Homo-oligomer: A and B are copies of this chain.
């Protein structure tokens, strides 16, 4: 582990004044867990973890650190995959652990306020209690937090139906780099009064402000569901099918895909046969929700698709859960093969199949010993390219994949963010005008440059 820099005693005293001695953690045994991401690929060191309990305390922490020129990394559930919430340059970690909790539910309007440290699962539960649902979901729901999801504009399983986190976000409470508290929690669905500062903070990865709470829109809780695994002979057939399902299947809420080798891997990991046996070249998991018989609706939509080589429809909760378990175990199954390189990319619909067909060869060309694993959210053009069998610091594989993404006019980060891992590629994708505009905005809102300075820019 890299050595932690020492915390200046004057700053330490100032921070204790703000948060109390119990919430400035400096014992390396205690802070070590906050210095590394869960995959183990990004490992840093920190002089301290500070745990403010309110927006005012966060403002105090930011002001003290700005005055001393000491950088901060905001950290929620630390489930990120791009090194964006880890103190890689010796930053102080600002934890959202004490900013958790749900408050102010609007049952007629379908809105909820949640502290930055609230888990996504807790938001989902509170939404359900109010007779609504939260439109965002992914496997790390019990650990990932509202603050992190806003900071990274997290996507997940239902983007095809409800959009990413930014689409749920009415407004934030956040402490800007200036140390001021921005209170935009009162923003409404239809609110054209001035710049969308909350939307700007969403996806800025903690470089402009520290999100302390969010006001989120809810979506209708739909009572009936169906899920089917569909087999296709090629990525092209699966992409065409997704385009038709998006137009023709009411209530489409997920369209996930993976290849044959991936199906076999996860089946082996779970000790169960794959959903379609033998696994087809591409498996598409299609879910829909609504009122009334969803199995019928799904079957009718699937009936009109070309190229379906096999289908398994889950018509009860247990079968749906089994299919989802397969899908959600993909990351875990791949991890048993070592620490993978993870590239999270999205492509325009007309480039998606070509990318999926070509990427294994591009990787093999620079790393013949590598194995490529492809899965993702085909409904919104998002593929997770995982590569095992290469050293963690081997950049050639990442370069091969991300270079192909840009050739095909895609995005080098679909839902994980840029972090420290993809900064060079972000600049290449966005271009000099966008990067200059981003730098100018960063300087405007974080003039001391202390908020997550190692990521993105």
Interface residues of A (CB under 8 A from B): 106-111, 131-132, 152-155, 159, 163-164, 166-167, 176, 178, 180-184, 186-197, 199-200, 202-204, 208, 220-222, 239-240, 242-243, 246-248, 250-251, 290-291, 346-350, 377, 380-382, 409-418, 422, 426, 429-431, 433-438, 440-441, 443-445, 456
A108 touches B195 (CB 8 A): no
| Contacting residues, chain B, for A195 (C-beta < 8 A) | 200, 203-204, 208, 434, 437-438, 441
| Contacting residues, chain B, for A412 (C-beta < 8 A) | 193
A203 touches B192 (CB 8 A): yes
| Contacting residues, chain B, for A108 (C-beta < 8 A) | 239-240, 242-243, 349-350
A190 touches B109 (CB 8 A): no
A192 touches B415 (CB 8 A): yes
Nearest 4 A/B pairs, CB to CB:
A109-B349, A108-B243, A440-B444, A108-B349
Of B190, B193, B377, which contacts A381 at CB under 8 A?
Answer: B190
A195-B441, A440-B444 known; 6 other A-B pairs, CB under 8 Å? A110-B243, A111-B348, A193-B429, A193-B430, A195-B200, A441-B444
CB distance from A413 to the nearest CB of B (A): 5
Asked whether A415 and B190 contact (CB < 8 A) given A184-B434, A250-B250, the answer is yes
Q: How far is the CA of A416 from the CA of B106 in the complex (A)?
A: 25
Can you give 12 contacting A-B residue pairs, CB < 8 Å? A107-B243, A108-B349, A109-B349, A111-B349, A159-B189, A163-B189, A182-B434, A186-B409, A189-B380, A194-B418, A200-B200, A248-B291
Closest to A252 in B: B220
| Contacting residues, chain B, for A431 (C-beta < 8 A) | 183
Closest to A409 in B: B186
Closest to A353 in B: B108
Q: How far is the CA of A186 from the CA of B433 in the complex (A)?
A: 14
CB distance from A83 to the nearest CB of B (A): 14
Q: How far is the CA of A178 from the CA of B432 in the complex (A)?
A: 13
Of B106, B191, B422, which contacts A413 at CB under 8 A?
Answer: B191
CB distance from A347 to the nearest CB of B (A): 8
B194 touches A434 (CB 8 A): yes
Q: How far is the CA of A422 from the CA of B186 in the complex (A)?
A: 18
CB distance from A232 to the nearest CB of B (A): 14
A197 touches B445 (CB 8 A): no
CB distance from A326 to the nearest CB of B (A): 22
A220 touches B247 (CB 8 A): yes
Of B132, B188, B410, B418, which contacts A414 at CB under 8 A?
Answer: B188
Closest to A175 in B: B433
| Contacting residues, chain B, for A422 (C-beta < 8 A) | 193
Q: How far is the CA of A142 from the CA of B170 in the complex (A)?
A: 30
A167 touches B163 (CB 8 A): yes
Closest to A220 in B: B247
Q: How far is the CA of A180 from the CA of B431 in the complex (A)?
A: 12
| Contacting residues, chain B, for A220 (C-beta < 8 A) | 246-248
| Contacting residues, chain B, for A208 (C-beta < 8 A) | 195
Asked whether A381 and B189 contact (CB < 8 A) given A199-B200, A251-B250, the answer is yes
CB distance from A243 to the nearest CB of B (A): 4
Q: How far is the CA of A348 from the CA of B187 in the complex (A)?
A: 9
A188 touches B411 (CB 8 A): yes
B348 touches A426 (CB 8 A): no
Q: How far is the CA of A222 from the CA of B252 in the complex (A)?
A: 13
Q: How far is the CA of A349 from the CA of B190 in the complex (A)?
A: 12
